[in-house]
Structure 1
Amino acid sequence: MSSPRSPEGPRRGSPAKSPSLPRSPEPTEPPAAPAAPAAPAPTAEAQVPPMAEIPFEDESGDSGVEGYDDDAASSTASLSESIYDYRQIHGRTFQHSKTTEYWGPNDDRQNNGLDISHHFITMLLGDQLYEAPIKEPPTRVMDVGTGTGIWAIDMADMFPSAEIIGTDISPIQPTWVPPNCIFHIEDAQLEWTYPPEHFDFIHIRALYGSISDWSELYKQAFTTMKPGGWIEDFEFNITLMSDVPEVRDDPKHIFKRWSEVFTEAGERMGRTLLIGTGGQMRKLMQEAGFINVVEKNYKVPSGKWSSDPVLKEIGAYNLAFLDESLEGFALFMLKEIMDWDYIEVQVFVSEMRKAINNPKIRPYYILTNVFARKPEAWE
């Protein structure tokens, strides 16, 4: 889920196609499109080698940081007034649909954090929008759970001849977008409204805690994808960690308590927050029929404690993302699902915020990216 307001500034384009959406940022000149990823495709199912340790500085420092066809189109779920009927929880707004009460707010504060996460994920992937080794420029791309649309917009800038469709349950995308970018209100847990073998590339990011049946999600992606097309899913891990013994070996540390309560909340909702762990995405993609499945795990610092200059910058943005987003993560899950008092939630969030801002304990978490290919008909 991501936001249209990237750190580079808002995008310029034409009004988004149906359905119309609420925000209309002023257009500015777009940045240069990023280069496409390297082309060679893996020839066998593989998993990358173990992650390297993050180098760190001994001294403490500041860890903060300031031709979609008419038939398909007509079958797309239409926008209705009920979509704007947001839930209010202590001043934060939340979207819901027929099958999904999404746990994250859809307000500007949460979107600011998502802007930042898009930026550091792009840096993490080597200044690329994806890792799947796509050989030819795609013609149709779908971003499932596009959020506020920044990834779809960047892809539209990168591939101006391709049609980029972003889907989401929440109409928070901008109205000024590249002419080849379209946003549709669609619930990914319902039957997809797109024809079989339609997309070259299907992108998913940060749907942890949103999907009740991941196997079905990947099967629908498989059906909707052209033979030879690629899927990519980038998911977060809710468990923060530290290699410092007093944190690592303390079963009551806030990092462990945070992970435990959110894991339980996900189980109560029937929507796991742990999809990025234990090779689950890789396994379910294989079961759905995908081949050449590759899993990549990234050890991402929280804060500027790494001595590696790239990881230092990524860590600074990651910390800003977490700082901006912690209350949004906790409010629905803990208050509505776990039945905590509002004050109790705020105290818990405050304790977590203090820990992630402590460079002496060198906090980090694991991000997992999995990409895979649909076989050609003759394979």
Structure 2
Amino acid sequence: MADSPNLRGREVTSDYEPSVDGGSIFGSVTSSVQDHVWEFGRRYHMYKYGRYPMPNDDEEFNRETLRHLMFKELLEGKLFLAPIGGSPQKIMDLGTGFGEWAIEIGEQFPSATVIGVDLSPIQPVWIPPNVEFIVDDIEDEWVYANDFDYVHLRFVGNCIKDNSRLQQRILHRNLKPGGWVEYQDWYLQTGSDDGSVPPGYAVQKLLMLCADVFKTVYGFEPDYIGRLPAELQRHGYHQVERKVFNMPIGDWPTDPRQRTIGGYFREVLMNLAIAVAARPLVEYGMEKSEIDELVNAVRLALSDRSIHAWVPMHFVWAQKPPT
């Protein structure tokens, strides 16, 4: 990935419009980094071009929105599991994406200051007055104060090059004594309770390809979540906890809530296949015919209700020692 890419042949746009109404009851997104680039038929971030390989367009917004709804259904309306108390005063959402989680946590805790950080200026213009969005690379050297009660990361660690370094930075530079960090992420594998996942299952192939692409092409750590609790303990966090949910793929469960979750997840995975087909799999070196075959196979697999597959979702939280 080039730090200073040659953008000839790519369409660069600046379609983000910040608020100008300083007197509103709502705040405005504060960022001067407004450009995007169109390529591979999708829109991507311009700031730190190439740092993150997934698009930031309307189709990706739909995928992230479904994922947000899926997690809320999974947690029965909750946004987190860490025991942060009833009145946190400063909250940070790293890799905030389109900002749904940050906005909702700001509404839940109106007395708290909420900061969402992302590479793309794609968050809503009108936001609660206690929420602020900043365009930045969370792996760069930055300090947003050391008095945060809670730092949240959801589906972020798989696209980080050095999770250990980020964990140390959060501990020593961002959290106040007694503050909490929480990771919400998946392990890129499928399983089943009844052995119904067939050999060559296309969804498993998709997830394995994602893991290999993220590691070999972009230098990320797609397997970080498995070792995360031990790493947090090694860095000095305490009260490290992990909870794993087996997220159903599709609407095969008999339980209504699990069926709803599975329906969301099926659409999230289909949209993931389409998103990685646009750029990551091309940069991985796959031919268009191979990519099309994979996407079609994933579509067929996701519609097969005889396959009772799930993917493990990990929630890991830990506290900075109070003293």
TM-score bin, normalised by smaller chain: 0.7 to 0.9
How many aligned residue pairs are there? 298
Alignment of 1:100-179 (within 5 A): 101-179=51-129
Determine the structure 1 residue equivalent to 2:274: 327
| Alpha-carbon distance in 2 for matches of 1:261, 1:286 | 30
Q: Return the offset for 1:88.
A: 1.2
Q: Return the offset for 1:266.
A: 2.1
| Alpha-carbon distance in 2 for matches of 1:307, 1:294 | 29
Alignment of 1:239-278 (within 5 A): 239-245=189-195, 247-248=197-198, 250=199, 252-268=200-216, 269-276=218-225, 278=226
Q: Return the offset for 1:290.
A: 0.9
Q: Is the partner of 2:224 in helix, strand or coil?
A: coil
Question: Does the alignment pair 1:353 with 2:305?
Answer: no
95-104 or 285-294, which deviates more: 95-104
178-187 or 121-130, which deviates more: 121-130
| Alpha-carbon distance in 2 for matches of 1:333, 1:211 | 15
| C-alpha spacing 1:264/1:122, structure 2 compared with 1 (3 Å) | same
| C-alpha spacing 1:112/1:122, structure 2 compared with 1 (3 Å) | same
Q: Structure 1 unaligned runs (5+)?
A: 1-11, 20-78
Q: Do the aligned residues in 2 keep the contact of 1:103 with 1:209 (CA within 8 Å)?
A: no
Amino acid at match of 1:86: V
| Alpha-carbon distance in 1 for matches of 2:46, 2:189 | 26
Q: Return the offset for 1:192.
A: 1.8
Q: Do the aligned residues in 2 keep the contact of 1:235 with 1:275 (CA within 8 Å)?
A: no
TM-score with structure 2 length normalisation?
A: 0.86
Q: Is the partner of 1:270 in helix, strand or coil?
A: coil
| Alpha-carbon distance in 2 for matches of 1:95, 1:344 | 27
Question: Does the alignment pair 1:376 with 2:316?
Answer: no
Q: Is the partner of 1:361 in helix, strand or coil?
A: coil
Determine the structure 1 residue equivalent to 2:162: 213
Question: Does the alignment pair 1:198 with 2:151?
Answer: no
TM-score with structure 1 length normalisation?
A: 0.74
Determine the structure 2 residue equivalent to 1:186: 136
| Alpha-carbon distance in 1 for matches of 2:188, 2:276 | 10
Over aligned residue pairs, what C-alpha RMSD do you find?
Answer: 2.0
Alignment of 1:71-90 (within 5 A): 79-80=32-33, 83-89=34-40
Q: Return the offset for 1:330.
A: 3.4
Determine the structure 1 residue equivalent to 2:255: 308
| C-alpha spacing 1:97/1:211, structure 2 compared with 1 (3 Å) | farther
Amino acid at match of 1:16: S
The one-character-per-residue Cα deviations of 1:233-265 (angstroms, maximum 9, x if unpaired) are 1012332334454635x2x33244323322221
Q: Return the offset for 1:274.
A: 2.1
| Alpha-carbon distance in 1 for matches of 2:208, 2:265 | 22
| C-alpha spacing 1:180/1:302, structure 2 compared with 1 (3 Å) | same
Q: Do the aligned residues in 1 keep the contact of 2:27 with 2:126 (CA within 8 Å)?
A: yes
The one-character-per-residue Cα deviations of 1:257-293 (angstroms, maximum 9, x if unpaired) are 32332222122121022222x3x11122112211000
Q: Do the aligned residues in 2 keep the contact of 1:210 with 1:271 (CA within 8 Å)?
A: yes
Determine the structure 2 residue equivalent to 1:3: none
| C-alpha spacing 1:166/1:347, structure 2 compared with 1 (3 Å) | same
| Alpha-carbon distance in 1 for matches of 2:38, 2:228 | 31
